[in-house]
């Protein structure tokens, strides 16, 4: 994302523009912000890949960029009516969140963890800073399916920044599934093995937080590494990277996307994203659904 060119759980449905979701009464705000990161088991060790640690770092390399869209934003992406967001990692260092807010950024996702041995050293400033700048924020986990089990990584993520709270300002954690930056594209897993790994992660994350994780993935990677599995389309919101003038085709059984990462470069910090709906719908995604209403 750097400027490389300059309790028991209840089932939810992914959100997008026009989706009907019942809201519940807002509970009291937490005394501390959710998602506070703590030291990892391998704190102090060299990060796994400090030169490639951002969400989408492998997408352009494997899938390319639409040259007509390169260096530009999709029409209306940063207009006052658009719900614009960014995602950041350690490469972005200390972020001037108030400046981004003035430019119209309404939400932010911050890298919290990778595998079970890496935590973002800038997480606190980035995560809490976006919150204090009046943004809706969330955390994401860079998956390493060949390092450890999905449930193990989900618990590590939930306990090191990826938690969730009904404060109306915290989005469910996101699972970053993309090309392996260290080796085999699909981490040495079969289609069934990868689907099972993701299933273990999302079940464990829901058990820890009560929310269904957002899944970040490209259509090409999903087809190649899961066989275009239709397993998660009704439960996990889709965040899709596609560096072009449109979102393109969707993977699996997803009928719509919730977030579109439309460029990895531009006039401000981090990768640029656009929520598929109004700001009010983004707040619904943050609050979650109350099945009792």
Nearest of 31, 189, 205 to residue 113 by alpha carbon: 205
* Count of Cβ atoms closer than 10 Å to residue 18 Cβ: 10
Among 73, 87, 114, 208, which one carries the catalytic annotation? Answer: 87
- Write the CA distances from 72 to 68, 143, 200, 268, integer angstroms: 8, 29, 38, 12
178 is catalytic: yes
- State the Cα–Cα distance between residues 171 and 136, nearest whole angstrom: 7
Catalytic residue among 53, 63, 114, 176: 176
3-state secondary structure of 153: helix
d(CA 234, CA 230): 9
In degrees, to the nearest 5, what angle opens at C-alpha 274 toward C-alphas 207 and 228?
A: 55
Q: Is 271 a catalytic residue?
A: no
- Examine the residue annotation and report whether 176 is marked as an active-site residue of this protein: yes
Q: Which of 53, 114, 178, 289 is catalytic?
A: 178
Among residues 45, 46, 62, 8, the alpha carbon closest in space to that of 219 is found at 62
Residue 160: which of 33, 31, 35, 32 has the closest Cα? 35
Residues acting as catalytic residues: 87, 176, 178
């Amino acid at each position: 994302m750097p400027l490389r060119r300059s309790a028991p759980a209840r089932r939810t449905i992914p959100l997008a523009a026009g989706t009907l979701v019942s809201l519940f009464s807002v509970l009291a705000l937490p005394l501390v912000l959710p998602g506070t990161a703590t030291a990892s088991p391998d704190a102090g060790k060299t990060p796994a890949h400090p030169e490639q640690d951002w969400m989408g770092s492998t997408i352009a390399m494997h899938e390319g960029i639409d040259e007509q869209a390169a260096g530009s934003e999709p029409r209306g992406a940063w207009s006052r009516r658009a719900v614009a967001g960014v995602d950041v990692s350690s490469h972005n260092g200390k972020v001037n969140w108030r400046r981004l807010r003035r430019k119209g950024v309404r939400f932010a996702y911050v890298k919290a963890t990778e595998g079970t041995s890496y935590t973002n050293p800038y997480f606190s400033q980035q995560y809490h800073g976006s919150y204090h700048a009046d943004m809706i924020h969330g955390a994401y986990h860079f998956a390493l399916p060949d390092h450890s089990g999905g449930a193990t990584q989900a618990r590590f993520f939930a306990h090191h920044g990826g938690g969730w709270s009904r404060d109306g300002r915290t989005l469910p954690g996101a699972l970053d599934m993309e090309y392996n930056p260290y080796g085999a594209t699909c981490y040495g897993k079969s289609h069934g093995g990868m689907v099972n790994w993701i299933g273990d992660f999302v079940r464990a994350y829901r058990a820890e937080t009560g929310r269904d994780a957002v899944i970040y993935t490209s259509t090409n990677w999903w087809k190649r590494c899961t066989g275009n599995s239709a397993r998660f389309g009704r439960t996990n919101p889709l965040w899709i990277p596609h560096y072009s003038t449109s979102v393109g085709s969707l993977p699996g059984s997803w009928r719509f996307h919730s977030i579109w990462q439309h460029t990895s470069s531009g006039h401000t910090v981090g990768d640029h994203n656009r929520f598929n709906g109004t700001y009010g719908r983004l707040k619904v995604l943050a609050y979650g659904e109350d099945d009792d209403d």
